[in-house]
Chains A and B, each alone.
Chain A
Amino acid sequence: MENNNNLPAVPSNALSEGYSHIKGWGIDADLKNDPTYPIKRRTDEERFGYTWERPAQQARDVEILTSTERNNLPAVFGTTLPPSGLSGAIRRFAFKYSESDYAHWLPLMLADRVGVAEGIISDLSRGHIPDYFNERGWGAEMEYNRKNFLLKVAAGAAVATAITALLIYRKRQKNQ
């Protein structure tokens, strides 16, 4: 395949000079053999670290949790939903660990579940009762999959009835 990277076929003299102490350095290099092309058009800039002209830095006016693998804040970032409450505390804990650590990702998954509960509490505190029927799009289920929907409702009702009956039975047994 034609490689349009505009690179020479062998490493430049300037680069090879730095490795002159290693016998044979680069003698088999073939810059045309780049399996990443064209997904990555190699420039080798990243070898020199932050050499690019960075965009202006966005002001940080909310708490932004940052990966431990970064040495700075990116120039631009999302400011939605800063960490708060118990889920926020769990997220802060998670961000003490790197992206390659389960101790980063598993707490984040836990925080997401805690966040769901916090969302319900927040809704209720503002007088908003979560509308599960519409939030889950069950109207569409009724329209396009009515039989399955009715089966689900019936199964749910049966389970609820069974649990209620069991609780009543146990209560009566206790009282005797």
Chain B
Amino acid sequence: MLAMNYRGPYRVRVDRDAPIPEIEHPEDAIVRVLRSCICGSDLHLYHGLVPDTRVGSTFGHEFIGEVVETGSSVHKLKVGDRVMVPFNIACGKCAFCRQELYGNCHESNAQATAVGGIFGYSHTAGGYNGGQAEFVRVPYADVGPTVIPEWMDPDDAVLLTDVVPTGYQAAEMGGILPGDTVVVFGAGPIGIMAAKSAWLFGAGRVIVIDNLDYRLEFVQKFAQCEAYNFSFMEDPVEFLKKATDSLGADVCIDAVGCEATGNTLNYIMGTKLMLQGGSTTALHWAINSVKKGGIVSIVGVYGPIDALVPIGNVVNKGITIRANQASVKRLLPRLIEHVKNGVINPKEIITHRIPLEEAAEGYHIFSSKLDSCIKTVLIPPSATI
């Protein structure tokens, strides 16, 4: 089968002779991929920043597909079902799944305890191959995968497996109360969805900060929010304080993670020298821009080692920090309703539809922000829709 193959930082290829995955556990299913996105989180792998990313890995944790085979203990899915596959691999039985912390399943990741298994996201997230291939093994097939409703566009469905739930949970973790001012750092796909979702929780004002004009223009239209380019600010924190009556925002959302620009020293230490778990500039700004007693919500991905953050300010300001990988299964029913009712139109963020065979170009376009790229979808040649 065709499968994306990681060869090292900034190098990927597509192999034509990759082995088709097999059932390895009675609760497995094999899914033929119909759509697979390149996620901003994939870029951290692509840039070589995630420990235990082994050469030969197939990435891709945001995909939909058609069930072609099921294990003996799979009862809810049948061959031919078209399913959205949440990026979290979750057993549904452990103490954490029962608390609906599906991103923290204790029965899907041998290599690390902090995070549960994630498709195609290094051995630190369990060593599973991902969906940037023609076929993929889906463990715990009765738990996460959800049959795509007949009325739903497959382009909407694929975005419900990661980017929409992650953006939505970013807003949810903000504990937004009606009238709150919400600042979102990052106008990538997650930041765009977080800004859109903030209104659903009753935000009174939504501000997005980024340094790429084309993204800011996009988010301004898509999420009907204010958007500002930090490149033209002497100090984004001061700018935001002045924009919020000198008090700060009620809620700040870090939708950037470990490759934040905006502070050269932090960027070099975090992404080039890897002396900390990523460049923490967005998190710095979030902590320093939020109101005293406010909430900082983090969905940006950071590495597992220490990272420099102004923790003293967190204490002195009485900030609440909430963070996690999105719990896709928990959120899907609500988000499907939102798509059905036209409250969220996920597919509008797709700017590039690229054949799977051209995954290397897709990665480069997204990584280098070429051609006004917001979101890239890879389509295998065997996809029937």
Contact = CB atoms under 8 A, between A and B. Distances in A.
Contact of B27 (A52, A55, A132): A55
A76 B361 contact: no
B113 A137 contact: no
B13 to A, nearest CB: 5
Contact of B360 (A106, A112, A119, A134): A134
A124 to B, nearest CB: 12
Interface in A95-109: 95, 99, 102, 105-106, 108-109
Interface in B75-129: 89, 91, 93-96, 98-101, 106-114, 117, 123-124, 126-129
Interface stretch (A7-15, A20-28, A33-41, A155-163): A33-41
A136 B10 contact: yes
Given A109-B274, A136-B364, A137-B363, A76 B370 contact: no
B9 interface: yes
A112 B363 CA distance: 19
B293 interface: no
A74 B99 CA distance: 18
A70 B56 CA distance: 26
Interface size class of A (residues with CB under 8 A): 35 or more
Interface string B3-19: 00001111111000000
A65 B111 contact: yes
A135 interface: yes
A116 B7 contact: yes
Given A70-B110, A108-B52, A115-B55, A45 B95 contact: yes
B48 interface: yes
Nearest to A98: B113
The binding surface of chain B is classed by DSSP as loop
Given A67-B111, A135-B7, A140 B93 contact: no
Contacts of A141: 364, 368, 370
A66 B8 CA distance: 23
A175 interface: no
A77 B320 contact: no
Given A39-B172, A102-B305, A111-B52, A135 B360 contact: yes
24 contacts: A38-B172, A42-B99, A43-B98, A43-B99, A52-B98, A53-B93, A55-B27, A55-B140, A56-B27, A65-B110, A67-B110, A67-B111, A74-B117, A75-B25, A76-B89, A76-B107, A76-B117, A78-B127, A79-B127, A99-B113, A112-B52, A112-B54, A141-B368, A144-B371
Given A76-B108, A136-B11, 13 more contacts: A40-B100, A56-B27, A59-B24, A77-B109, A77-B126, A81-B55, A81-B127, A87-B54, A91-B52, A106-B305, A136-B10, A140-B362, A140-B364
Interface of A: 35, 38-43, 45-46, 51-56, 58-59, 64-67, 69-70, 73-81, 87, 91, 95, 99, 102, 105-106, 108-109, 111-113, 115-116, 118-119, 130-132, 134-141, 144-145
Interface of B: 7-13, 24-27, 48, 51-58, 73, 89, 91, 93-96, 98-101, 106-114, 117, 123-124, 126-129, 139-140, 169, 172-173, 274, 303-305, 320, 322, 324, 327, 360-365, 368, 370-371
Question: 9 closest pairs, A vs B, by CB?
Answer: A137-B364, A78-B127, A116-B8, A78-B128, A119-B55, A46-B95, A108-B51, A144-B370, A140-B361
